[in-house]
Amino acid sequence: MADGPLELLAKARAGETEALGELCALYRNYLRMVVRTGLGPRLRERVELSDVVQEALVEVVRQFPQFTGQNEAALVGWMRRLVGQKLADLGRYHNRVKRAGAATAVPLDAAAGAGARGGEDHGRLLDMLALSQTSPSQAVSRREQTVLLADALAALPRPEADVLWLYYAENLSFEAIGEQYGLSRKSIRGVMVRGLKRLKRSLEGPPGGRLKYDDEPPPA
């Protein structure tokens, strides 16, 4: 059976390089979600999301000896702060580049998204898909809910994950999403229904708890 985050944390602190690699892999989807939130639309046009995630993971490995927390919540918060610092640095760098070129500066979306709010401002998506606290399974009670959500989103078919993100996290309308994909409002809503149902099945099953939301998105 695969080691959980606390077991991997203990082994990584004992100097097991492989365990530290597995620990980073365990949070790749979560870090991707934090980075995607913090980048903001303008900065996202100038950098590759996957590159920023990889740089964040490198920073996690580099600074790991400084981490002193004892549970997953502390680890997630520490990683989130590292991402916030990385995104703020990127924002400042691209601002300097733009100013040097006499072009419009890029707003520090990262500083507002990943710093001021701790990287947890994923909009309505987290509100809509938060796991219920009423009767979580033993496994869920040991895991951070946003981490489980990030893994569940990553497991969805790409169109469903993208539509859910654009609607709930970036607050785009069905019409605006449809324009991006060349699909009708009705088609986009159908994609969302399928995505929500898949997420519900994923998060209700082992090791998940139950969700607070209904299967259906807002009325068409």
The answer to whether 189 and 217 are in contact (CB under 8 A) is yes
Domain 123-213, what architecture? Answer: Orthogonal Bundle (1.10)
Res 144: pLDDT: 77
Q: Please give the pLDDT value at position 215.
A: 45
Q: In angstroms, what CA-CA distances link 155 with 15, 59, 124? A: 31, 25, 20
- Give the pLDDT of residue 219: 60
pLDDT at 75: 94
- CB atoms closer than 10 angstroms to residue 219: 5
Query: What is the rounded CA–CA span in Å between residue 174 and residue 186?
Result: 8
All structural domains of the chain with their residue ranges: 1-121, 123-213
User: Tokens in use for 134?
Assistant: 């009423």
Retrieve residue 60's tokens: 């996690």
- What pLDDT, on the 0 to 100 scale, is given for residue 220? 59
Reported pTM: 0.74
What count of other Cβ atoms lies within 10 Å of the Cβ of residue 125? 20
Could you tell me the mean pLDDT of each successive run of 10 residues in the chain, 220 residues long? Answer: 84 95 94 86 79 93 95 92 89 72 44 37 52 40 75 93 88 93 95 90 59 51
At residue 156's C-alpha, the angle toward residues 38 and 60, to 5°, is: 40
pLDDT at residue 27 in the model: 95
* Residue with tokens 């040097």, as numbered in its chain: 100
Buried b (16+ CB within 10 A) or exposed e, 126-152: bebbebbeeebbeebeebbbbbbbbbb
Q: For residue 129, what is the enclosing H or E element?
A: helix 124-129
